[in-house]
Structure 1
Amino acid sequence: MEYLQALFQRKSGSLAWMQGLAWFIFFLIFCYLSLASWPWEFILLWAFINTLFYFTLVYINLGYLLPQFFLKQSFGIYTFLIIGIAFVATPLKVYVNRILALSFDHNLLGWTVDSKLTFISLIIIPALSSLARIPLDWFKMLSEKKELETKNIETELQSLKNQINPHFLFNTLNNLYALTLKKSDMAPEVILKLSDMMRYMLYECNEDKVSLERDLKYITNYIDLEKIRLNKNADIAIQITGDISKTRIAPLMILAFVENSFKHGIKNSIGNAFIHIMIEMHEDVLELIIENSKESVVAGSMHNHRLGGIGLSNVKRRLQILYPSRHSLLIDDQPDLFRVHLTLNTKETI
């Protein structure tokens, strides 16, 4: 299935080549079926004319009858037309073959074509072309659908790349302004971190896959800047283990979950607020666990965990399209705790 999808993604060139090869083989079959005693010029011309005859009928079927009747479920009309065309074409084909024989050698006049066999072949060959075309059209539709889904998710991802959360950005600038008024030594560090984040968001995220190490650097910068505006007593911890230097993932995938924990975790939690982030790499498998405190369930809390402006459903769809059958996402939403457990197989597929 993946081969056929890739074939259609290469558009019409490969298909045209395959069709040409199929008709050439069909031509060779006619040459093989001819009598050895026939002149070779007659064999080649006879095989060519008969191949051209079937070629015309097949493409009348594929170009008109199949899409206009069969695919619109008018099976009775389609069957009637196929049989009717075969009924009309049979004597025509027999006549053309006799004229061809007469033009070459009067000794060939004794050679005859079985009309029944011709009639059956004029039904079977177009029917076989339909049986071949229907699954090919299905694979083409499947390929186009997947391509459209990929383009849609790329558009959504591009939109995400182009938007830095305004609330986060304004808070960071306000904190930076306060630090400069106090002539704090932290101001230059904040400027560097914010600059690095914007550079990553605007320039380095244009690839389909980015270095996990670089993506996590963006996240640690995000966490460091968030800490400036938060309660100093908040328990915020991030732990990264395993070799992340060679792994590549879709950009900003983890950010949505981290951003959610800050936006709807510490801000709305009551009592001892905390965010615990654990990221571990086992060979090709990335494991992410985020736990954050949250406020008790109250009216309107259904909106508490929309992820970073794109929504949980959007993140799930990105995972389904970019990592089909290669991820597991478990979300545990308790009255005072929100937990995300993501397992991601980052191994590149061919």
Structure 2
Amino acid sequence: MATFNKKRWVLYLRIGAAYLLFLLFIDLVRHPETVLKKMVNNAWMVIYLVVMNYILFEYTIPFIRLRWTRMLATPFLLFGHLILASFGFYAWRHIGVASGICFSLKTHPSLEKAVEYSVPYSFFSMLFFGVIRYTYDLRKLKQTAQRLRIEKQEAELNFLKSQTNPHFLFNTLNNIYSLTRDKSDLAPESILRLSKILRYMLYEAGGEYIAIEQELKIISDYIALEQLRYDESLLVNFNYYIGDMKQSLPPLLLIPLVENAFKHGVSETRNRPFVDIHCSVNNQQLQFIVKNSTETLPADGSLKENIGLANLRRQLELLYKEFNLTVQQGESVFTASLQINLKSHV
């Protein structure tokens, strides 16, 4: 059996107020001369209807649904509500008139006629309360489902970010390790650049958005760090055209494409390695194209995305409604192209 719920009771009081306003509108149209007296009578009757419908929808119906064995009690419960809706409704009205709370605007020749007159009002109130109550519950259910869906997506997005950041950091540490193993004089500079990247990841990339100029800066720092590993044979071209450098963007969203170009492209290229990066944002339409040299072609001609690109694609699905991420493997060039409608953020 359900216990008394204060919030649900407030809901029925609000439905009762709406029902009273509905009756007031009807009386204004049909009986404007007695509208004040009828408003007093209706207010008294609505008190009864609120209690009756609260019992019906919050206790009786849930009790019947709870177990199939309780279906045996259904006829008695329904009969009890029939009594409440007919004789009970009439008795409540009679109490109001007898105590001077209500006005006796209509007399009936017999008890049966009085009850017959009252029954349609009771059953209409059940329909009124039932429709609004179930509509309200359905809307709340949809809101709860929507909230749970958003929470699930946020949890998944945070998990993907937690994978991306260590993955990015691990690859950067590998680059520094290769320099220290060769006892390169560039190792100290690489550590300094890594500290800048770590500072960015710890203190600036924790929010939901950053300015795109910050994302471009971390890309530049990462490119400079990668270039320390290679001699002058590596050609890097990084150009961008941004209408508004304060345009917001989720942090570290673009870096996986750049990281992919160095890890799976340049590092595996023996002759004339290059990376070509172009970024533009115009009217909140972002275009980010990364081309890199490659010498590896799948034997079967298929193209499989690594974990970095797969995570990026899933992040985009959770963040934006309108985007397009394509990758193309040529004979000596790998191209990753990303277009995002920044206004389509979920």
- 1:134 aligned to 2:115? no
Distance 2:73 2:292 in 1: 68
Aligned AA for 1:55?
Answer: Y
Partner of 2:43: 44
Normalising by structure 1, report the TM-score.
0.74
Which string of whole-angstrom CA distances, capped at 9 and with x for unpartnered residues, describes residues 107-158 of structure 1?
6763543435644653564256435533542343133212211222123213
Aligned AA for 1:169?
Answer: L
Distance 1:221 1:300 in 2: 37
Partner of 2:4: none
Q: What fraction of aligned residue pairs are identical, expressed as a percent?
A: 19
Retained in 1: the 8 A contact 2:242–2:280? yes
Deviates more, 1:286-295 or 1:52-61: 52-61
1:38-77 alignment runs, 5 A limit:
38=37, 42-60=41-59
- Given the superposition, is the C-alpha separation of residues 294 and 82 from structure 1 closer, same or farther in structure 2, using an over 3 Å criterion? farther
Normalising by structure 2, report the TM-score.
0.75
1:80-95 alignment runs, 5 A limit:
88-95=80-87
Q: Secondary structure at the match of 1:253?
A: coil
Q: Secondary structure at the match of 2:296?
A: coil
Partner of 2:241: 241
1:299-310 alignment runs, 5 A limit:
305-306=305-306, 310=307
Which string of whole-angstrom CA distances, capped at 9 and with x for unpartnered residues, describes residues 222-275 of structure 1?
111111223532322211222452112111111111111111111223533222
Distance 2:174 2:25 in 1: 80
1:119-198 alignment runs, 5 A limit:
119=123, 122=126, 125-126=129-130, 129-131=133-135, 133-134=137-138, 136-162=140-166, 164-175=168-179, 184=185, 186=186, 189-198=189-198
Partner of 2:291: 291
Q: Secondary structure at the match of 1:206?
A: coil
Q: Secondary structure at the match of 1:324?
A: coil
Aligned residues: 321
Distance 2:241 2:36 in 1: 80
Partner of 2:311: 314
User: What stretches of structure 2 of length at least 5 have no aligned partner?
Assistant: 1-6, 28-33, 99-103, 109-113
Distance 1:334 1:81 in 2: 75
Aligned AA for 1:92?
Answer: L
Aligned AA for 2:261?
Answer: S
Which string of whole-angstrom CA distances, capped at 9 and with x for unpartnered residues, describes residues 163-195 of structure 1?
5432421321442575xx66x4x5554343221
- 1:220 aligned to 2:217? no
Retained in 1: the 8 A contact 2:20–2:42? no
Deviates more, 1:48-57 or 1:107-116: 107-116
- 1:329 aligned to 2:325? yes
Distance 2:73 2:249 in 1: 54
Retained in 2: the 8 A contact 1:27–1:51? no
1:101-112 alignment runs, 5 A limit:
101-105=93-97, 110=108, 111-112=114-115
User: Larger C-alpha radius of gyration, 1 or 2?
Assistant: 2
Partner of 1:201: 201
1:25-44 alignment runs, 5 A limit:
25-30=18-23, 36=35, 38=37, 42-44=41-43
Distance 2:13 2:240 in 1: 56
- 1:256 aligned to 2:248? no
Distance 1:321 1:129 in 2: 34
After superposition, the CA RMSD in angstroms is 4.0
Distance 2:37 2:298 in 1: 92
Aligned AA for 1:91?
Answer: I
User: What stretches of structure 1 of length at least 5 have no aligned partner?
Assistant: 1-13
Distance 1:15 1:348 in 2: 38
Deviation of the 1:208 alpha carbon: 0.5
